[in-house]
Amino acid sequence: MRRVLLLMGILFFATLSSTAQYSRYVVKFTDKKNTPHSLSNPSSYLSAKAIARRAKQNISIDSTDLPITPAYLDSIRSVPNVTVLNVSKWFNQVLVKTTDPAALVKINSFPFVKTAAPIALNVDNIDKGQPITNEKYGVVGNELIGMNGLNGTHSLSYGNSYNQIHLHEGEYLHDLGFTGKGITIAILDGGFFGYKTNVAMDSVRSQNRILGVWDYVANEESVNEDHPHGLYCFSIIAGNKPGSLMGSAPHASFYLFRTEDVNSEYPVEEQNWVAAAEYADSVGVDMISSSLGYYDFDDASFNHSYAQRNGNTALVTLGADLAAKKGIIVTNSAGNSGNATNDTKYIACPADGDSVVAVGAVTQAGIRAKFSSWGPNGAGARKPNIVSVGQATVLANTAGNASSGNGTSFSNPLACGLIACLWQAYPEFTNMEIINAVQKSSSTYTSPNDSLGYGIPNFRKAYEYLAAERLKKNQDAILGSNWIKIYPVPFKQSLSALLKAPNTGKATLRLFNSSGQLIELKQLDVQAGSTYTLSFGAAAKLSAGVYIVEYRDGTSTQRITIQK
């Protein structure tokens, strides 16, 4: 039966090659037998950072992590007129290029080959970095004038970027020193035109925080000469031009991967996406930011219907969810088809993935952008998950100056960068715990819908929520032999008390300044042995100096001196 099916497949592939001129195929293998690698020795195929990410989040290394059997790849490479372009160990498949029908016959004759399916036409890859403005890539507008006055007392000089950061209270994280340092983000896009010389990106270059690049379309180690869409997204996260524009995580580190061919639309780009995500995983990235989406191809037979955008069908969606299962936070633009009158108005793939953070778009005033794609709620997940500024989003143009753009392509990196800052603040939490905190902080969390999802995240609230969660996890270690602990010491914006009540009754907590003036009073009923957490709301507005926290419950008294 297999041989009959293979012969039918060969005739089908030959017909495609002669009529449609397909040249790229995905060859799927049956197994990973005789691999020299093992689950007990992951260091032969995963970096120490990738292994540490899994260990920290209690994620097991499994068969999807094992590389493809080398002998299988050698056999494919030995076939005349065949070029191996990239591989996917997660799905045990390889992307090849050939226009030779006899090569396909040979490939299908191998007993370890399950299928060989066409995935793209034989088209020349020509991309000179010219702007493309359509519903997928969004629109970039005119340059903006620097607005130094918006910086105020904040640690970063935001310029034109202030409003989009402030909508999320992202400056709260930045002012605490959380600007993405130590977080590694892989950006998957259609090119990063001119990033090597763009003045808005000089900090990330000079500090050697671009850790690697690869072009999965042209199969080369260069992404500087291609489309600027990825540059725009990159600048929204990493741009640093004080008084003009500021990225949402300006001190993060990056990998830049070109997976998208803007000149055509075929599912080969989904395979490229997966290959890039796998490499990102193997080198230990923390996050993936992707402002790409797939549902409508140049060959309609490949289209992802509304029913197929369910979180469980498209290759790119399955790959994105698998990346998340490896402990990576994956954020993806929801899509720009919200104005459509048919089912194309719904989110594209991989934003439909249940573990993918789909990011819709709002204005700087928090009003939904009309182009932002709608849910469905595929795979039981609320979609979009969150929204960020995607209309008049401030970014760096190819000249390095502040411009604005419209599209969920731009709301996604803005949100991604702020999530990176939050994860820097709380590195002990898993990717899903961080995502949960972001969603809980959002404006419509208690009444989510298909246009805004859980709404606009507030990163002050997310930070405070995780502070409470950290306390729950670590309260015994924090208290030690004490029954009351004031933290952090010294404090800056927030000040809290952790109390394991020594007695039952009515208790008070008072915050005084060094002159004995009462600043804030907390009253509560306590039960001996129970633990309580209280925050002093006045802490953020206090000037530098010495302060005193006093606890009384009628039996026990404690006075603690602290400093801001």
The domain segmentation of the chain, as residue ranges, is 2-121, 144-466, 480-563
The residue among 413, 419, 372, 415 whose CA lies nearest residue 391 is: 372
- Say what the pTM is: 0.85
Q: What is the dihedral of CA 208, 214, 215, 216, to 10 degrees?
A: -150
Residues 477 and 250: their CA atoms lie apart, in Å, by: 33
Backbone phi and psi for residue 375, each to the nearest 5 degrees, phi listed first: -60, 160
What CATH number labels 144-466? 3.40.50.200
Q: What is the dihedral of CA 80, 84, 88, 92, to 10 degrees?
A: 10
Residue 122 CB partners (closer than 8 Å, separation 6+): 21, 22, 23, 24, 99
Helix ranges restricted to H, 20-69 = 48-56
The residue among 362, 361, 363, 336 whose CA lies nearest residue 347 is: 336
Residue 533 pLDDT:
87
Q: What is the dihedral of CA 222, 224, 226, 231, to 10 degrees?
A: 130
**What are the pLDDT digits (tens) for 278-331?**
999 999 999 999 999 999 999 999 999 999 999 999 999 999 999 999 999 999
**Is the omega angle on the peptide bond into residue 488 within 30 degrees of 0, that is, cis?**
yes
Beta strands in 382-423 (DSSP E): 386-389, 393-396, 402-406
Structure tokens at 306: 């509304």
CA 89, 94, 95: angle at the middle one, nearest 5?
Answer: 135
Residue 516 CB partners (closer than 8 Å, separation 6+): none
Residues 47 and 490: their CA atoms lie apart, in Å, by: 37
Rg, the chain, Cα only? 26
Positive or negative CA dihedral for 150, 435, 276, 13? negative
Residues 142 and 404: their CA atoms lie apart, in Å, by: 7
Q: Burial of 291 by CB count in 10 Å (0-12 exposed, 13-18 middle, 19+ buried)?
A: buried
Whole-number mean pLDDT of the chain? 91
The residue among 368, 389, 406 whose CA lies nearest residue 137 is: 406
| Maximum distance among all Cα pairs of the chain, rounded to whole angstroms | 91
Residue 1 CB partners (closer than 8 Å, separation 6+): none
Residue 143 host element (H or E): strand 139-143
Residue 124 pLDDT:
53
Structure tokens at 27: 């060859």
The residue among 317, 198, 336 whose CA lies nearest residue 256 is: 198
Q: What is the dihedral of CA 462, 467, 470, 475, to 10 degrees?
A: -160
Long-range CB pairs of 5-11 (<8 Å, 24+ gap) are: 6/108, 6/109, 9/108, 9/115, 9/116, 10/101, 10/104, 10/105, 10/108
Q: Spell out the SS3 assignment of 378-389.
A: HHHCCCCCEEEE
Residue 21 CB partners (closer than 8 Å, separation 6+): 99, 121, 122
Residue 236 and residue 390 in contact, taking contact as beta carbons nearer than 8 Å:
no
Using DSSP, state whether 41 is helix, strand or coil: coil
Residue 359 host element (H or E): strand 357-362
Structure tokens at 405: 């753009």
CATH topology of domain 480-563: Immunoglobulin-like (2.60.40)
Q: What is the dihedral of CA 96, 100, 101, 103, to 10 degrees?
A: -60
Residue 436 CB partners (closer than 8 Å, separation 6+): none
Residue 131 pLDDT:
52
pLDDT mean values, one per 10 residues, the chain (564 residues): 31 38 94 95 97 96 97 98 97 97 96 96 56 63 59 85 98 97 98 98 98 97 96 98 97 98 95 98 98 95 93 97 98 96 94 96 97 75 92 96 96 98 97 98 95 96 92 81 90 89 95 95 93 90 94 94 94
Please, what's the b/e burial string for 162-184 (b: 16 or more CB within 10 A of its CB; e: otherwise)?
bbbbbbbbbbbbbbbebbbeebb
Q: Burial of 117 by CB count in 10 Å (0-12 exposed, 13-18 middle, 19+ buried)?
A: middle
**What are the pLDDT digits (tens) for 10-36?**
333 333 333 347 999 999 999 999 999
HSE, CB side, 13 Å, CA atoms: give it for residue 494.
Answer: 18
Positive or negative CA dihedral for 110, 111, 114, 115? positive
Task: Measure CA of the first residue to CA of the last residue in the chain; give whole Å.
Answer: 77
Helix ranges restricted to H, 264-389 = 268-283, 315-325
DSSP 529: T
């209280």: which residue's tokens? Answer: 534
